[in-house]
């Protein structure tokens, strides 16, 4: 019986130690990435004449670079701007590698 208690205690310590040693998952990663991408897209080089939302699909590669897959927009200036500002840029925030992310990007006109 004493051996069983010792084994149980040792197993409990191993489980507790491994739980404490793991990195906590970050639930604020999407918000952090959105802020980081927003900073990259700040100050467009063209005049925004009307409000529009553009959906951008991208993946993150092993070097933590953004690789654009598609920019859902009919305006060539907006599409080019997003491609130049985001494609192959390194993110500070770590995201799941190879997963496709969709980010809505709003352009608001300053009337």
Domain ranges of the chain: 27-107
10: its two tokens: 């040792």
* 87, HSE (Cβ side, Cα atoms, 13 Å): 10
* pLDDT higher than 80, residue 17: no
Cα–Cα nearest to 84, from 34, 41, 51: 41
What's the whole-model pTM score?
Answer: 0.69
What's the mean per-residue pLDDT of the chain?
82
CA 79 to chain centre: 20
| 89-103: pLDDT as tens digits | 999 988 899 999 999
* pLDDT higher than 60, residue 63: yes
């Amino acid at each position: 019986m004493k051996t069983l208690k010792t084994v149980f205690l040792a197993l409990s310590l191993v489980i507790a130690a491994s739980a404490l040693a793991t990195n906590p998952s970050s639930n604020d990663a999407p918000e952090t990435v959105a802020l980081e991408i927003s900073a990259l897209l700040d100050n467009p080089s063209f005049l925004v004449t009307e409000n529009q939302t553009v959906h951008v699909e991208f993946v993150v590669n092993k070097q933590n670079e953004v690789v654009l897959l598609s920019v859902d927009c009919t305006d060539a200036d907006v599409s080019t701007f997003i491609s130049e500002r985001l494609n192959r840029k390194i993110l500070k925030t770590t995201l799941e590698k190879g997963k496709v992310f969709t980010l809505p990007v709003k352009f608001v006109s300053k009337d």
